[in-house]
Structure 1
Amino acid sequence: MAKSKGDNLNRSLVCLCAAELVMMINTTAFNVALPNIAESLGTSMAEQQWIVSSYNLVFAAVVLLAGFLGDRLGHLKTMLAGLGLFVIASAIGLMAGNVPILLVSRSIMGAGAGIVIPMGQALLGILFRGPELSRAMTAWAIAGTLGVPFGPLIGGTLTATLGWRGIFGFDGVVFLAVIAIILMNVPRINGSRKSRSLHVPWASVAMMFAGFTLFSAGLVNAQHSILAVNAWVPMMVGVVLITGFVLYDNNSRNPLMELGLMKDPSFASCAPALMMLNFSMYGIIFIMPAYLETVLCHDALVGGLLLMPLVVASIVGARMNDWIVSRIGSRGTSLLALGCLATGMLTIGGAMWWSNGMMEQSTVMIGQLMAGLGLGAGQPAMLTWATGRVPIEKSGAGSSLLTVFRQFGSIIGVGIFGSIQSGLYMRGFRVLAQSNGLASQSAGSVTLDFQQAAEFTSLTSDMIRQTASRAYESAITGSFAAAAAIIVVTLGIVALISRKTSR
């Protein structure tokens, strides 16, 4: 009987991890299709940015609602609805003939992701308890990590053979298959769900949705200039709405968000720690491709391979999680993970000071390995530490609240890294160009400056590329140092909040 129960749980774990894997493949596969979409639909750079950003904006906006519904309707039922949204979005994307329809498709996919991730974590917290929960969270983390390198590979192959619509066709078929295997293998367990009001607090939903959307939109615009009106005004209004939402929802008889969970120091410590994991990962993925492909003159495939140390180290760190936790506990592992992230950031930034190209790239690889170990070991330890403290009847709300922090980390990772990197690059390019007797005006990015360099004579073209490369490397040093400082401050906050918790 025990063996049969164990086999059923293992099948459930495989199915839930499969959902996480294909969703991460979907997230990263789409980015490689952007040039093909731009050529097919004639999209501008701003339109491409919003096609990508719409996914993250809607994701952040629906997470808490997903937890609310999951704790009342059932976590498995809610997760299947989220997977169904991916199928619907795939059909819309497959038929999209213009940018607005494509935006609708990606927004629906963002809603699906905002449901599937917290419900998957909630189901793991219900199905697995004690030491088995750590094993389950480790498998979940590895599945998500594997989706990062497989996404561009699958997306590139589909785009090259079938065009960008091939990605949507692939998504539709795969997500239908995932729904089928989950229906056949994951037990319909909803925890100790009590009779709770299904009345949706629409006022909270509206304030939360508007607040996150405006703040996220401001951060997207801040990548060009944080002082621009379309950057700081939406962010300020978003902060006001988010604050109003928290105050209103906290005093509501039918809250959308279970803020009471933050009273537990272990849960409260994990929230900012998990935010830093996504902050780091998305920041690195946002900044490094231009360095690896444009500055170092590699194609997209080689550039992707040069990011593999981060992915491999993440998988190794996740596999080492149980061993590390058994020696220093979840709290110690979480703090160690943040320390590794900060060290990795400083190492990558410091690598730009080397004048020797081989030393520079070797040091970047070491920095990726350090950051990857932190990402891999930290995620399952933090999720286990937090999820183990959540009552089963609040599993959906707890997972959603943690996912909100993680998604917020993704948004500010791109926004902060992008803003600092852009500002430092433009300033550095201007100073270096003036000292070399070149025009001091940058085109706005290292990729565009490299493209414009082709319009000049060979000598001038080489000087522009060298100037752009040095400016970008210098900007990496500044932006990664700033990121390391933010992580160190968060590490101190986590250590302070959790100082009285057990291991």
Structure 2
Amino acid sequence: MADAKGSGMNRSLVCLCAAELVMMVNTTAFNVALPDITESLGAGMAEQQWIVSSYNLVFAAVVLLAGFLGDRLGHLRTMLVGLGMFVVASAVGLMAGNVPALLVSRSIMGAGAGVVIPMGQALLGILFRGSGLSRAMTAWAIAGTLGVPFGPLVGGVLTATLGWRGIFGFDGVVFLAVIAVIRMNVPRTRASHGSRSLRIPWMSVAMMFAGFTLFSAGLVNAQHGLLSADAWIPMMVGIVLIVGFVLHDRTSRNPLMELGLMGDPSFAACAPALMMLNFSMYGIIFIMPAYLETVLHHGALVGGMLLMPLVVASIVGSWMVDGIASRIGSRGTSLLALGCLAAGMLTIGAAMWWPGEAVRQSTVLIGQTMAGFGLGVGQPAMLTWAMGRVPVGQSGAGSSLLTVFRQFGSIIGVGIFGSVQSGLYETGFCDLAQSAGLGQRSAGSVTLDFQQAAGFTDATGDLMREVASRSYESAMIGSFSAAAAVIIVTLGVVVMISRKTSR
């Protein structure tokens, strides 16, 4: 009987991790296709940011609602609905012929991810407890860690062989298979709050979604100047709405989120720490494909392969996390992960200073390795640290609350990286073009500028490509330095919040 139960639990764990793996592959595989999508649909940097941010925005809007419904209707049932959204979104993306259609597809996928991730974590928190929870969260983290940086490689293969639409076809088939195996192998869990109201707090949902949308819009517009009215006004209004949502939900009889969990110092410290994982991950994968594929003249396949140091280091970090945590605890391991992320960011940015191409690429590799190790070690340590403090009856709410912080990290990661990179790139392009006697202006992104340069057959085209490459590399210094500063500040905040907690 015990063997049969253990075998069933292992099958459940494998199936849940498979869902996490394919979903994270989907999330990051798409970024490798951005240069091809830019060329195919003529999307500028702002449109690229919205294509990526639409996923994260809807994710953030849905995730708390998913926890609310999962705790009442059943976590497995809710998770299967989320996986079904990916199948629908894949069909829409496969037929997309313009940027708005692509935005719809990515938004539906964001909704699906906003359901799948918290429900998967909640199911793990219910099915496994004690030391079993730590092992389950490590397996879950390894699956996600594999999917995040491995996605660019899969995306590169699909884009190089089938075009960017091949990613959506692949998604449709894979998610149908995942739905089938999860239905067969993962046991249903009872709704924890069957006696509580099923009335959805739409006011809270609307305020949170509007707040995140306006804040993200301000970040996107900040590429033209942080002090411009169309940047700071949406950001300020967004912040006001987010604060209003928190205050409204806190006093509501039917709250969307369980803010009481933030009273635990360990849980509260993990929230900003997890936010920095997504901030780093999405920032790197948003900036690096254009550098590897456009500036260095590699195709999507090679560009994806050049992100493999991130993959390997993440896997190594996930395998080592138990040994590290046994020595310095979950808190120490989480702080170590944040330090590695900051060091990795600084190293990638500093690599752009080197004049020699071989030394530059070696330094980028070292930076990717540091950041990847931080990602691999951080996720299981932080999730175990936080979810171990959550009562079983609040598993969905606790997981959703942590996931909101992670998605906010994704939003500000794309927003800060994209806006800083775009602003510095356009300024650098203008200055270098003027000093080189080039009359052309930037089209708004390095990919579009290379496409524009292809229209010149003389030395002008070569000069445009050189100016664009140097401008993009120079902008990367500022982008990654700003990211490192954000992570270091957050590291200090986590240290302060958790200073009185145990290991």
- Shorter-chain TM-score bucket reads over 0.9
**2:245 counterpart SS class:** helix
Counterpart Cα distance in 1 of 2:319 and 2:336:
15
The within-5 A match list for 1:245-260 is 245-260=245-260
8 Å CA contact 1:431, 1:440 repeated in 2: no
- Corresponding residue for 2:324? 324
Structural RMSD (CA):
2.5
- Corresponding residue for 2:377? 377
Deviation at 1:94, TM superposition (A): 4.6
Counterpart Cα distance in 2 of 1:52 and 1:196:
36
Counterpart Cα distance in 1 of 2:47 and 2:419:
19
Q: Which amino acid aligns with 1:25?
A: V
Counterpart Cα distance in 2 of 1:161 and 1:294:
18
The within-5 A match list for 1:92-491 is 92-94=92-94, 100-155=100-155, 158=158, 166-190=166-190, 193=193, 195-439=195-439, 441-456=441-456, 458-491=458-491
* TM-score normalised to structure 1 length: 0.92
Matching of residue 89 in structure 1 with residue 89 in structure 2: yes
Deviation at 1:149, TM superposition (A): 4.9
Counterpart Cα distance in 1 of 2:292 and 2:42:
25
8 Å CA contact 2:276, 2:487 repeated in 1: yes
Deviation at 1:35, TM superposition (A): 6.6
Deviation at 1:368, TM superposition (A): 0.7
Counterparts in 2 of 1:403 and 1:214: CA distance versus 1, 3 Å: same
8 Å CA contact 1:126, 1:191 repeated in 2: no
Counterparts in 2 of 1:393 and 1:62: CA distance versus 1, 3 Å: same
8 Å CA contact 1:429, 1:440 repeated in 2: no
Counterpart Cα distance in 1 of 2:91 and 2:146:
25
Q: Which amino acid aligns with 2:331?
A: R
Q: Which amino acid aligns with 1:408?
A: F
Deviation at 1:227, TM superposition (A): 4.2
Counterpart Cα distance in 1 of 2:357 and 2:97:
45
Deviation at 1:161, TM superposition (A): 5.9
Deviation at 1:392, TM superposition (A): 0.7
**2:187 counterpart SS class:** coil
**1:282 counterpart SS class:** helix
8 Å CA contact 2:22, 2:174 repeated in 1: yes
Deviation at 1:178, TM superposition (A): 1.4
Deviation at 1:396, TM superposition (A): 0.6
| Stretch deviating more after TM superposition (184-193 or 232-241) | 184-193
8 Å CA contact 1:91, 1:172 repeated in 2: yes
Counterpart Cα distance in 2 of 1:426 and 1:100:
25
Q: Which amino acid aligns with 2:420?
A: I
Deviation at 1:435, TM superposition (A): 3.3
Counterparts in 2 of 1:99 and 1:481: CA distance versus 1, 3 Å: closer
Counterparts in 2 of 1:232 and 1:115: CA distance versus 1, 3 Å: same
Counterpart Cα distance in 2 of 1:232 and 1:244:
18
Q: Which amino acid aligns with 2:477?
A: T
Counterpart Cα distance in 2 of 1:95 and 1:17:
29
Deviation at 1:350, TM superposition (A): 1.2
* TM-score normalised to structure 2 length: 0.92
Counterparts in 2 of 1:378 and 1:118: CA distance versus 1, 3 Å: same
Q: Which amino acid aligns with 1:332?
A: G
Q: Which amino acid aligns with 1:89?
A: A
Counterparts in 2 of 1:340 and 1:111: CA distance versus 1, 3 Å: same
Deviation at 1:89, TM superposition (A): 2.8
Q: Which amino acid aligns with 1:185?
A: N
8 Å CA contact 1:343, 1:367 repeated in 2: yes
Counterparts in 2 of 1:191 and 1:501: CA distance versus 1, 3 Å: farther
Query: 5+ residue gaps in structure 1?
Result: none
Query: 5+ residue gaps in structure 2?
Result: none
Deviation at 1:326, TM superposition (A): 0.4
Deviation at 1:246, TM superposition (A): 0.5
Deviations 1:73-130 (A, max 9, x none): 1111111121122233334445556655544333222111100001101111111112
Identity %: 81
Deviation at 1:220, TM superposition (A): 3.0
Deviation at 1:498, TM superposition (A): 0.3
